[in-house]
Amino acid sequence: MESIKIPHLPSSSGVYLFKNRDNTIIYVGKAKSLKKRVASYFQNYEKDWKIKALIDEHTSIDHIITKSEPEALILEAQLIKQHQPKFNVLLKSGQPFVYLLFTTENLPKLEFVRNKKKKGTYFGPFLHKQQARSVYHYLLKTFRLEWCKSKIEQGCLKYHIDLCVGNCRSSFNPEEYLFRLELTKNILKGNYHQSLKDLKERIALHSKNLEFEKAKNLNEYVHNLDSIFATLKTKFSDKRYEHDVFLATTPIHKRREPNIALAESLKDFLQTDKPIKTIDCFDISHFQSSFIVGSCIRFAHGVPDKQHFRRFKVRTLKEQNDYAALQEIVLRRYKDPVEIPDLIVIDGGKGQLNAVKASFDKLRMSGTSPQIISLAKREERIFMDRLPNGIVLDQKTELGSLFIALRDYAHHFAISYHRKRRHNEL
């Protein structure tokens, strides 16, 4: 644990209030001695995961002195009722936490559970259910761990689009599934090198047995392992992603100076003498061509500039058309030429890039033309004017991590708005 400064509090009775970086009250407690009670949280940081979650999220502690302990009790109740701090509510609401469970059946499964009643290997507890559920579905999809309830000789539709484990087929071989499940467990443990070693050994075995298709499928995981780890880190981080984006190795709230080397790498990659101070990233989200929305996030000097984040309900389309949707939100975003950044990153491929460039053709009167690049998910291939056919991004570099983190951040921002819109309109 990093060194945490315990606030200087009086020894008198009163109420203490833990606050997060948004100055929101996340926990209220009472004490006979404020100094002793608050100090106990930091002393028990490593012993109690509930306290650890609270300490990790807080950034400041306020206090109110009372004349007596009974008065502190009354004030505590009033403040909890008024502010509904999430840690007070969650910790008193029965079972607020969730877990990811690897069961111990003959054919074990990955499950999303709310308690520890079953035998198996648990990851958690996780306080933020939505984030944990997002990780769960990401793992099911990425490693094809979803079990099928059907029995179809040639396999169900989900099997043929690489989602179902294939237990619906009469020729189902659990060996490959068990390997992917164990790989998933190692990745959740953060064992990067072990995961890579296991993959390479398995690929060599398949190649030796002339099972080239199986070797090819696993080789995809080798190529995408960095991206998988980065995605999980992002999904498990603070929902605003501030710890994982740009200058990525150091949490933003702890940085004092910009990453000069990364800034220079960015300039070299873009082949420009102009410093890249502002970056906007766009993404489109929809559900079966409905509820089409877009997002634009901005980073200024390597830090999220939330005052310039934008969400868009696409107005001109009734059916999915990512190109047209991008053109609409870009034109709306940059009505004022002053808003145009130094660099724009688009989630997509060559088509999305050309669509956005066409939008800027209509904005030439501004006299400002930013650098524009697009990043296609499947291969992490990046496109720009000087790279019309694109190049595959080196995800092991800081620059590669930067582009992927920006793209994933914008994607998350769009998805959260899309879900909100669907919830409000259904």
Question: For 346-387, what is each residue's pLDDT tens digit?
Answer: 988 899 999 988 888 776 644 556 889 999 877 788 999 888
| Averaged pLDDT score across all residues of the chain | 79
Q: Is the pLDDT of residue 304 over 70?
A: yes
Question: Strand, coil or helix: what is 296?
Answer: strand
Other Cβ atoms closer than 10 A to 25: 20
Rg (CA), the chain: 25
Confidence band (pLDDT; 50, 70, 90) for 255? very low
Confidence band (pLDDT; 50, 70, 90) for 102? very high
Fold of 14-91: GIY-YIG endonuclease (3.40.1440)
Confidence band (pLDDT; 50, 70, 90) for 6? low
Fold of 252-425: Nucleotidyltransferase; domain 5 (3.30.420)
Identical fold at 14-91 and 252-425? no
Report the C-alpha gap between 284 and 125 in whole angstroms: 32
Report the C-alpha gap between 194 and 346 in whole angstroms: 34
Q: Which is more confident, 37 or 89?
A: 37
Confidence band (pLDDT; 50, 70, 90) for 29? very high
Q: Which is more confident, 345 or 155?
A: 345
Task: List the chain domain ranges.
Answer: 14-91, 98-236, 252-425
Confidence band (pLDDT; 50, 70, 90) for 137? confident
The DSSP-derived string for 364-420 is: GGG----EEEEEETTTTEEEETTEEEEEE--TTSHHHHHHHHHHHHHHHHHHHHHHH
Q: Is the pLDDT of residue 16 over 90?
A: yes
